[in-house]
A and B are shown apart, each in its own frame.
Chain A
Amino acid sequence: KAGVTQTPRYLIKTRGQQVTLSCSPISGHRSVSWYQQTPGQGLQFLFEYFSETQRNKGNFPGRFSGRQFSNSRSEMNVSTLELGDSALYLCASSGAEAGGAETQYFGPGTRLLVL
């Protein structure tokens, strides 16, 4: 099975712009989660989607949003970019149906640099 894929792998934006990141989960996985990784804050949970519905949300401002499509692919959008949004954004998929401790498999990440 192909793993989790994320596009683009690298992105440079300027403050005030918006950005959309894409994630394709492992075939058959319906749960997609997004995480932000920075040197200062470590790995932080952004949100999780299951069957096109946001099922869980972390403590991030409303500038961070996401969606999931019927084929389970997910996109994450950050509007009005700030310097502090520079980070590695990781997407993970799992076969979890009703929640629970299913293993999450991660993609290679998107490195976002905001200038």
Chain B
Amino acid sequence: AQKITQTQPGMFVQEKEAVTLDCTYDTSDQSYGLFWYKQPSSGEMIFLIYQGSYDEQNATEGRYSLNFQKARKSANLVISASQLGDSAMYFCAMSDSWGKLQFGAGTQVVVTP
């Protein structure tokens, strides 16, 4: 069975600083995908970044980068130059071979001025 673990329930980060959100996963599948989503208080899940299990390069999307360490089964999200609008809940998710997403418990990020 697949499992996603996010050990940080909440974090404070100062504006313009970088923050790393931890995510570890467990799966016996050889092919899988790792995703990060942002959920503001409005409730909508916003896709941020994707990393495939066979991708050798770490994924980057603007201020978001994914630090993928396959041997350690970790897929940490790095947000650079934090902005006030980055305050939200962040979820790490993994898809199985059928595309079904399993989510971690999430990390609440609060960006302070």
The chain A residues found within 8 Å of chain B, CB to CB, are: 31, 33, 35, 42-43, 45, 48, 55-56, 58, 88, 90, 92, 94, 96, 99-109, 111
Contact = CB atoms under 8 A, between A and B. Distances in A.
Chain A, interface SS category: strand
Contacts of B32: 101
Interface residues of B, number: 26
A100 B106 contact: no
Interface in B80-113: 91, 93, 95, 97-106
Contacts of A106: 37, 44-47
B100 A103 contact: no
B62 interface: no
Interface of B: 31-33, 35, 37, 42-47, 50, 52, 91, 93, 95, 97-106
A92 B47 CA distance: 11
Contact of A31 (B97, B99, B104): B99
A90 B45 contact: yes
A109 B39 CA distance: 11
Given A58-B100, A108-B42, 16 more contacts: A33-B99, A43-B91, A45-B102, A56-B98, A96-B99, A100-B31, A101-B95, A103-B47, A103-B50, A104-B95, A106-B37, A106-B44, A106-B46, A108-B44, A109-B43, A109-B45
